[in-house]
Chain A
Amino acid sequence: MMKSLLSDQSLRLIETAIAKYPEGRKQSAVMAALTIAQDEHGYLSTDVLNEVARILEMSPMAVYEVASFYSMYRLKPAGRYTLTLCTNLPCALQGAGSAAQYLKSKLNIDFGETTKDGMFTLQQGECMGACGDGPIVLVNHKKMCAKMTREAVDAFIDDLYGSAGKDKR
C-alpha cells in the first residue's frame, strides 16, 4: 500500500466525516474531506483530488467537479493566509470599499494577488451570512473577522504576522 498524501490525522478526520452518513454514502463526505485536505496542503492538487476520490470511492471527475464548484476550495497554491473580503451590498454600505482600499495598500497587492513574502492572498468574496458585522474578512475560509475598520485591519494583520512568527515587513 502506498503512503497516503494525507496525514494520519487528516485520514482520521475524514473517517469521522464518513461516519456521519449512512452505509454506502461515503460520497456525502466529499466536502468535508476536501476541506480537511485543503487545511493540510493549503490547496487541492490533482494528486490530492485523486486521493480523496480513492478514499471515498468516487470518480476523480466527480471530486474535481465538487472542488471547482464551491468557491472556497483552492485548486492552485495561495499565500499562507487567504483573506477574503466580502464586498457585497450590505458590507459595501458598511465600509467594505474603504476596507478593500486599505487592505490593498497595506499589503501592496490587488484582489487575486499574493504578497511577495507569500504570507497573504487577497480576494473578494460573496455574502458570508454575517452582514450585521460587516465589513467581514474571512481568514483561510474559516476564521471570520468582523467590522473591518482600518484599526481592526491593522490589528489583525499584525496578529497574523505574529502567529506566523515573522517580523512585520
Chain B
Amino acid sequence: MSEATVDKSQWLNLVINGQPVQVPPGSTVMDAAIKLKMMIPHFCYHKKLSLAASCRMCLVQVEKIPKPVPACVTTVAEGMRVWTRSETAIAAQRAVISFLMINHPLDCPVCDQAGECYLQENTFGYGDCGSKFVEVKRVVAGKNLGALVSAAEMSRCIQCTRCIRFADEIGGKQELGMIHRGDRSEVVPFVGESYTSEISGNVIDLCPVGALTSKPARYTARAWELSSHLSLSPHDAHGTHIAVHTKQNRVIRVVAKSHEAVNECWIADRDRFSYEALNSDQRLTQPWMKKDGVLVESSWEEALPFAAAALSHIIEEHGADSVGALISPHASLEEMGAWVRWLRGLNCDNLDTRLRTRDFSADASNDSLNPSKTHSPSSIDWLGMPIADIAEQRAILWVGSFLRTDHPLLAIRARHATKKGAAMMSVNAQRADWRMPVAHDWVVPPSKIAHALAQIIVAAQGLKKETPFSLPEELGEIVPSEVARAIAQQLIDANGRAAVLVGSFGLHHENAEALKTLSRVLAALTGTTFGVLPDAANRLGAAWLRAHPITQKGLNARSVLESPRRAYVLFNAEPCDHDQGAVFSRAMKKAQLVIMCSPFKPDASMTRLPDVVLPITPFTEMSGTLINMEGRVQSYQAAVTPLGEARPGWRVIAALSQLMNCPFPESDLHQLRQTFVPTADALNARLAPRVDLAHIKLDVPRDIIHPNENTRAIERVGSVPLYQSDAIVRRAASLQKTTWAMPPRVGMNRHTLNELGLTVNARVRVMDAVLLDALRTEPLSVEIDETLPLRTVRVDTAHPLTWRLSGVSGKVHLEVCDD
C-alpha cells in the first residue's frame, strides 16, 4: 500500500532494535527497516519483484514468535517488536551464510562480482568465521544466455531466483526457469534457447552474486578500480538514467541508475551495451579529409578552416539556400542549439532533425493563427502524461507502435498496468509479441489504419450520445466493426484513465498527420489522454528549439534531399538514419561539398565519401541535456575525456561559426545552456495540452480514410530494428551478435506467399512500387509470418541490407533474385 493513499491515523507502530517507526498497513518488516535505513541482509528480496522468501537471509526475531521469520514477507502488526541482531537472528543469519558458502566456489579472485557482491558483503557482515565443510563442492555447468549475459559460472548461483522472477514479471516472458530440485536445482533457459529479452541485462544488476555477469565486460576490470559517472541513455526518448563505469579514462561498462519516476531501476540492453561502440575501431579520433578520392587523416588546423572556407564559398556563390543541414534527433540541446544558431546565422533554413518522418503535411499549414487547426503547430507533441502514469492507466490504445523495440522501458510500465487489470489495445499493421496480455490486437494493412481509427471514432460517438461533436461527412458511412466498438467501449469505460498513444510506425507512416489527427479526435471524444511516443532521445528538445524549417522556403528533411543542394552539413546523420536512404545517398553524390560531424567513421550507407569528417564526441565524452518523452529536462556530464582529437559537437560548430564570421554569443557550455535549455515552466507552456473537444476539427483527406479497396497492391510494414536505432547502437559489437540483429527477412502470411507465387526461403528484393530499382533492398529471404495481414510484407528499415528502401509503409514490389 503506498504511503500516500492511507490515512496516517491508520498507520501501524512497531519497534525494530529499539527504534520506533510507523508504517502503513500492509507493510512488511523489511519495508519498515528500509524506512529506518536499517540494513536487514537479504538475497532473494527485491523491491520490484514478487516475494520468494526462500533465501532465508532476512530472518529476524519477532516478539512472541518462537521461530525467526523472514522480514521480507512478515507483515507488520500493531505494537510488533523486532530484533535483527538478537541472538536468535544472528544465529539464523550465520546458519544461512554457512549453508550458502558450502557449495560456493570461493573464486572471488577471478570473479567479476568481487567487490560488489552481496554474498561477500553478507558473509563478512553477518557470517561466522571459518568453515566446517570438508566435502567435495557442487559443480554446476555454465549456461548460454546469449551474447550479453554471461552465465559461465553457475556454480556461484545461490538460487535466489531473482533473474527468473525478473524475466517473467518485468520482462513479460518466462524465459528463465529453475529445473530439477533440491541442491541439483539449476537456472536455465528453455532447452536449446537463450535469453532474448530486450531488457535482459538487468539480471546482471539483479544477480546478487557473480553467476550472471556482463559478457562484454567480462574480465575487463575489478569493481573497485571503476569510477562511476551518472549519465543518461541517448538511444530513445525515455531519458533513462545510467551509471557509466570507467577505468583509466575508458568506459568499461554501463549499469542501471535508479530513478523511480523515469526508469525505476531498469535499463534496456541497448542502454547497457551500446558503450562498446565508444571504444571500437569505428571511432574517429581525428579529422579526416578526402584527398584523391579517399579519406585520409588530417588535423583540426587543416580540416576546420577547409570546411569553413568551402562552405562559405558555396554560400557566396549560390546563396545559403544551396546548403542543406541534417542533425540527429538524438543530439543534445547544446549541440542542436549551437547548430540551429549557426545555420540561422548563415541565413540557411534548410535544416531538420526529423530524419525518419515521411509526412510533413502539417508544416504546409504552419500557421498558429489558423483557428481551424486541431492542433497548434508551435505546441510540442509528447507523451501527454508522466511516464510513471502509464502504469496507472486502465486502458491504452497504441496506434502504430512496436512498443517493445521502440520503447523497451515504456513497455515495462505498460506491463505494470496490465498486472492491475488494464486493457492494452493496439491498431497496427502487424501483431507484435507484446509479452503482456493484449485485450485487442487489431491488425490491418498500413493503408487501413486510418480507417480503423475512424471506425473507433464512429463507435465512440455512438456510445457517447451526449457529446457535442459532429462527425464529418467522410465518417458518416463508416460502420464500426465489433473490435472497433470493443476498443471504444474500453476507452470510455476507463473514465479518463486511458490514453491513445501514437507510436513510431504511426509517426513515420506516410499518412502520419492523419493518424495523429484521428487519434487526437478519438482521445477527445473518449475523454482520454492523447500522446505520441517520440522517436528519438531529444525529439522534444528539437521541437523546443524549432530545429526545423520556419519559413515557407525552408526545406525539410525530405525535400532537402529530393531537391538536391550543393552542400550538405551532416551532424551525426547517415543515409541509414533517414527514411529515404537511397535519396539521401543520391543527394550526397550530386553535392559539391559534404561536411560530416560524427563520432564514427562513415558507415557503408555513406556511399559518397564526405569531403571533411570532423570527429565529435559521443555522450560519454561531453556534457549535454535531453528532454524526454514526458517533458523532463535532464542533463548529463562527461564520464571520460574525449577520445583522441574528438571534440564536443557544439564546440566544433562554434569554431566553424567563428571561422565563417557569424559567431554566436554563447561562448561556453554554461551560456549555451542558459540560452537553449528551457525551464520546466517554459517547456510546459509549449507542451500540447489535453485536446478539447470543442476546439477540434477532423480534417483528414477522404482518400486516407477510405483508401482504394480494389487493389491487389503489396504494402510494406517496416520499423527500425532494435539494434539499428542510432549510430552508436548499430556499432555496438555484442548487441550485433544477439538474435535481434539477425539479417532481416521478408515476412508475409501464407496467403500472400501463395498469391505472390513465392516459396519460403526464396531470395527477393523488395523495391518501391514506383521507383523500383532506385529504392530497393538487397536480396532477402522470404519467411512465413502469420502476424501480418494479407498483401503486407514485413521488411525492417535502417538495416545495412534494407536502408535503400524508403518508408515504413507504402506500396512495394517484390522481385525474385537468382543468386
Contacts and interface: CB of A to CB of B under 8 A. Distances in A.
Assess A/B contact in the complex (Cβ within 8 A). Answer: yes
Interface of A: 46, 49, 59-62, 64-65, 68-69
Contact of A65 (B173, B175, B179, B192): B179
A61 B174 contact: yes
Contacts, number: 28
Contacts of B188: 64
A142 B71 CA distance: 43
Given A46-B192, A61-B175, A61-B189, 20 more contacts: A49-B191, A59-B173, A59-B174, A61-B174, A61-B176, A61-B177, A61-B190, A62-B174, A62-B177, A64-B179, A64-B188, A64-B190, A64-B191, A65-B177, A65-B178, A65-B179, A68-B181, A69-B179, A69-B180, A69-B181
A68 B180 CA distance: 5
A56 to B, nearest CB: 13
Interface of B: 173-181, 188-192
Contacts of B192: 46
Contacts of A68: 179-181
Q: Closest 6 interchain pairs by CB?
A: A68-B179, A59-B174, A61-B177, A46-B191, A61-B174, A65-B177
B179 to A, nearest CB: 4
Contacts of A64: 177, 179, 188, 190-191
Contact of A60 (B178, B180, B190): B190
A49 B188 CA distance: 15
Contacts of A65: 177-179
Contacts of B173: 59
A39 to B, nearest CB: 21
Interface of B is mostly: loop
B140 to A, nearest CB: 14
Interface centre among B176, B177, B188, B192 (most CB of A within 10 A): B177
B812 to A, nearest CB: 30
A153 to B, nearest CB: 30
A5 to B, nearest CB: 15
A69 B173 CA distance: 20
The prevalent SS among residues of A at the interface is helix
B786 to A, nearest CB: 12
Nearest to A58: B174
Contacts of B178: 65
A60 B173 CA distance: 10
Nearest to B173: A59
A102 B649 CA distance: 83
A46 B392 CA distance: 39
A34 to B, nearest CB: 14
Nearest to A60: B190
A65 B189 CA distance: 10
A62 B188 CA distance: 11
A30 to B, nearest CB: 13
Contacts of B190: 60-61, 64
A125 to B, nearest CB: 15
Contacts of A49: 191
A23 B175 CA distance: 26
B449 to A, nearest CB: 29
A162 B190 CA distance: 40
A64 to B, nearest CB: 6
A62 B174 CA distance: 7
B37 to A, nearest CB: 38
Residue among B175, B181, B190 having the largest count of chain A Cβ atoms under 10 Å: B190
A59 B191 CA distance: 12
Nearest to A47: B191
B190 to A, nearest CB: 5
Contacts of B175: 61
A62 B177 CA distance: 7
Contacts of A60: 190
Contacts of B189: 61
Nearest to A49: B191
Nearest to B164: A61
A124 to B, nearest CB: 15
B592 to A, nearest CB: 58
A20 to B, nearest CB: 24
A59 B181 CA distance: 19
B251 to A, nearest CB: 34
Contacts of B176: 61
B176 to A, nearest CB: 7
Contacts of A69: 179-181
A35 B189 CA distance: 23
A131 to B, nearest CB: 22
A65 B177 CA distance: 7
A80 B121 CA distance: 52
9 contacts: A46-B192, A49-B191, A59-B173, A61-B176, A61-B177, A62-B174, A64-B191, A68-B181, A69-B179
Nearest to B192: A46
Max chain B C-beta neighbours (<10 A), residue from A60, A68, A69: A68
A62 B173 CA distance: 10
A115 B173 CA distance: 41
Contacts of B177: 61-62, 64-65
A49 B181 CA distance: 18
Contacts of B181: 68-69
Nearest to B178: A65
A59 B188 CA distance: 14
A63 to B, nearest CB: 9
A53 to B, nearest CB: 9
Interface centre among A46, A49, A59, A61 (most CB of B within 10 A): A61
Residue among B180, B181, B188, B191 with the highest chain A CB neighbour number at 10 A? B191
A62 B175 CA distance: 9
A46 B181 CA distance: 19
A59 B189 CA distance: 11
